[in-house]
Structures are given as C-alpha cells and as structure tokens.
Amino acid sequence: MSYEVLEHIDAMADDLFAEGVEAERLGRLADETAEKMKEAGSIRMFQPREFGGFESHPREFAETVMRTAALNPSAGWVHGIVGVHPWQLAYADPRVQQEIWGEDPDTWMASPYMPGGIVTPVDGGFRFSGSWQFSSGTDHCDWAFLGAFVGNPDGSVAQPPKMAHVVIPRTDYRIVEDSWDVVGLRGTGSKDVVVEDAFVPEYRVMYYDDLIDGSAVARYGRTETLYKLPWSTAFPLGITAATIGICEGLVLHADVYQADRINAQGTAVKDDPYTM
C-alpha cells in the first residue's frame, strides 16, 4: 500500500502544482490539497495498521515527501512534518490513540515540540499554558503535540528541567492568524498557537526522556521495527526529505526554463557549464 500513496501523488501532479500557487496566496494549504493528501493517505504512511495506517518503510515515506515537495513545496513540508506525528502517537497511551483516530483515521496532528509551555501537576493530570511558533499545517489539524517543561505549583520550571510532549485537542488551543508570512513556505501556514490554562489528563503527556531512550515504545508493547527507529532520527527525516524535494523541484523548473534560452555569446544556456 505504501507506494500507492506515491502513485496517487503522481496522478494528481498537475493539480498539486497549481494548488501550490494558491497556498502561497492563502498563507496555508489549499483545502483541496489537504483533501487530496487524505485521499492519497499521505499522513497515514507512518500510522499503525490497526488505525488505518500503512506502517511504511522510512525510505518510502521520504520518497513520497520529496515528490510532493517537488510539486508543491508547502504540501511537501506539511507532509514531512505532520506525517511524522502518527509515528510518535503509535506509542502513546492507547487511550489517546483511540481519541484521535477512533472515529477518523485521517485526523491530523500539528506540533511544535519546542518547550514553549509549562505543565503543572494537579489531581488527575496537569494545568497547561504557553505559546509556540511555527505550527506547520495547523489549519488542517485537529490535535497537536506541544512541547513543555514540567512546572512547580508556583508556575516556575521544576529543577532539574524535565521536558514533555503534550497531546492536546484543537478545542484547547488558539491559532494566531496573520502570524506567519515567510517567503517560499508561506503556504505551510506555520502559525503561532496559544494555550491558556487548559486541563490535560495524565495519559496525554509523553516525557521526552522516555521517547529518546525507547521506554515509551517498550511500555506500550510496540514491537514493529518502524517504531524502534530513534526519535531523533525519525523527526528530522520529514524536514530533510521536504527540503530536498523542494530543491529538486526548483532544479527541474530551472532546467525547463533554460531549455531554449540563448546567452549573450550566442550559446545555448543548457550547454553553458557555468550556468548549469
């Protein structure tokens, strides 16, 4: 099934390219693009099979992200980042997996992971507040992973610092409109998000140390090779693949543009080694 995602992307290539221009105008992915990505199963490539995912090989994921980014940079960027989140959610508490994917396996999650908030322990969970930049694709996501430090009752950061990734529904955070306008990736809609004193059940909090040392994978019994990939390897894969794909698309368009051009010396540009 994994390479069928890439085949879907190829079949929609012309539309995805045109919608990339529209995304730049909108400052977020076009709704039509998000629907095409859901139809193709782009964000389900790293998702567990029991929730409608493909459990794709990382190479297949990277190749599909690269192809998407070559056609539509913003869509490729969102695919690379949002597409890694199901991989992490696969070894979160089963209760939160069910909350997010139980009714709709095409539910998307945003981020970022930088510790822009503080989670303060209370009975049954945490109180959570903070603000974050660069939440790529957030307009089309209904949940998010948000980075935080564990706090003391007075709101200060507990010592030694302990980082957490908090799983939170969109109803508990606010997207700051007009907070993203970046040349080349305007269409990713990587806007700021804000959380103001939300309650988070304990089972929706993942600790960074447990992600890094593999404790979270072991705790919930994941044995698939895919989910034993180090976190510090899996997450950069999406960003790297998107960046390479964007560059490949740029080179392709430059090549097409230069194909029939003649320079001042009367030489075909495509034959000029300095230009090429």
Give the chain's domains with CATH numbers.
2-105+231-255 (1.10.540.10), 109-213 (2.40.110.10)
Is the pLDDT assigned to residue 72 strictly greater than 90? yes
53 strand-pairing partners: none
Q: What share of the chain in percent tops pLDDT 90?
A: 87
Question: What's the pLDDT tens digit per position in 80-103?
Answer: 999 999 999 999 999 999 999 999
Is the pLDDT assigned to residue 2 strictly greater than 70? no
For 189-202, b where at least 16 C-beta lie within 10 A, e where not — what string? bbbbbebeebebee
Distance CA 238, CA 231 (A): 12
Mean confidence (pLDDT) of the chain: 95
* Residue 1 confidence class, pLDDT cut points 50, 70, 90: low
Mean pLDDT over 110-119 rounds to 97
Distance CA 179, CA 184 (A): 15
3-state class (DSSP) for residue 199: strand
Question: What's the pLDDT tens digit per position in 172-193?
Answer: 999 999 999 998 899 999 999 9
4 strand-pairing partners: none
Tokens of 48: 């567990």
Phi, psi of 224 (to 5 degrees): -65, 140
Range list of β-strands (E), the chain: 109-110, 115-122, 125-135, 143-150, 163-169, 174-176, 191-201, 205-207
Tokens of 235: 């997450």
The model carries a pTM of 0.94
Mean pLDDT over 105-109 rounds to 98
Q: What is the pLDDT of residue 38?
A: 98
